[in-house]
């Protein structure tokens, strides 16, 4: 499916007021996809229609297939537009294009994963610096491997991008000590997406103004 459509570098963005949840990480393998799937599953359990995509990385469909398994109705990935590896040059355009395309289907919420880390070569930083994209983010979830990474990621989001993360997850939250440190030092809820999947889904739902019934 690579190159099924051409990418418009000047693509406009219109999410039609639909809430957008973004998952960013401090590095690869920090638990972003697991968290995305936990959130999607919980929102679907509540009867909400969820569409999902992956905006950066290399062209493997594994992650969006996992999102489909979790209950996402429609999924997309950057390779649908001929991009086999994202960069700072094409990442924002891909993200704007997919957000607009999925929003046209009128889901209740859109969930997307930013592959790699906030600081990396795949274009995450450029996406978060795009004013149009940043303006439609309803909730940002940060995945981190340890409390130091969590602290650094939160500080980076706040100071460099003007983004306030709503939840920290990932291996940094695997134990109570890590969760307590993150909550105390960062002032952000720390929730493990594997052991507390319903809790993280509920927290995200509340942050975007959606109610989830147990």
pLDDT digits (tens, 9 = 90+) for 40-86: 999 999 999 999 999 998 888 899 999 999 999 999 999 888 888 89
Cα–Cα dist 129/172, whole Å: 26
Helices 62-70 and 32-45 meet at what angle, rounded to 10?
20
Q: How confident is the model at residue 107 (pLDDT cuts 50, 70, 90)?
A: very high
Whole-number Å distance between alpha carbons of 74 and 108: 12
- Output the six-digit token pair for 22: 């973004």
In this predicted structure, what is the pLDDT of residue 1? 56
| Contact status, residue 176 vs residue 208, Cβ threshold 8 Å | no
Would you say residue 154 has pLDDT above 80? yes
Output the pLDDT for position 199.
96
Q: At what angle do helices 147-161 and 176-186 cross, to 10 degrees?
A: 30
pTM of the model: 0.94
What's the burial of 152, exposed, middle or buried (CB within 10 Å: 0-12/13-18/19+)? middle
Over residues 185-198, mean pLDDT: 97
Cα(66)–Cα(36) distance, integer angstroms:
9
Q: By three-state DSSP, how is residue 209 classified?
A: coil
Is the pLDDT at 37 greater than 90, yes or no?
A: yes
pLDDT at 2 (0 to 100): 61
């Amino acid at each position: 499916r690579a190159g099924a459509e051409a990418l418009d570098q000047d693509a406009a963005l219109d999410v039609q007021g639909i809430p957008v949840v973004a998952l960013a990480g401090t590095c690869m393998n920090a638990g972003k996809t697991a968290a995305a799937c936990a959130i999607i599953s919980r929102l679907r359990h509540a009867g909400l229609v969820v569409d999902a995509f992956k905006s950066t990385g290399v062209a493997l469909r594994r992650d969006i297939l996992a999102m489909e398994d979790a209950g996402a109705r429609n999924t997309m990935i950057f390779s649908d537009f001929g991009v086999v590896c994202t960069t700072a040059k094409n990442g924002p355009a891909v993200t704007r294009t997919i957000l607009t395309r999925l929003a046209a289907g009128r889901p209740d919420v859109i969930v997307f994963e930013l592959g790699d880390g906030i600081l990396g070569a795949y274009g995450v930083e450029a996406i978060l610096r795009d004013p149009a994209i940043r303006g439609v983010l309803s909730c940002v979830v940060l995945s981190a491997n340890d409390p130091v990474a969590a602290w650094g990621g939160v500080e980076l989001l706040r100071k460099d991008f003007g983004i306030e993360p709503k939840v920290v997850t990932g291996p940094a939250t695997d134990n109570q000590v890590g969760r307590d440190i993150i909550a105390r030092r960062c002032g952000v809820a720390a929730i493990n997406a594997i052991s507390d999947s319903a809790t993280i889904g509920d927290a995200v739902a509340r942050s975007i103004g959606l109610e989830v019934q147990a």
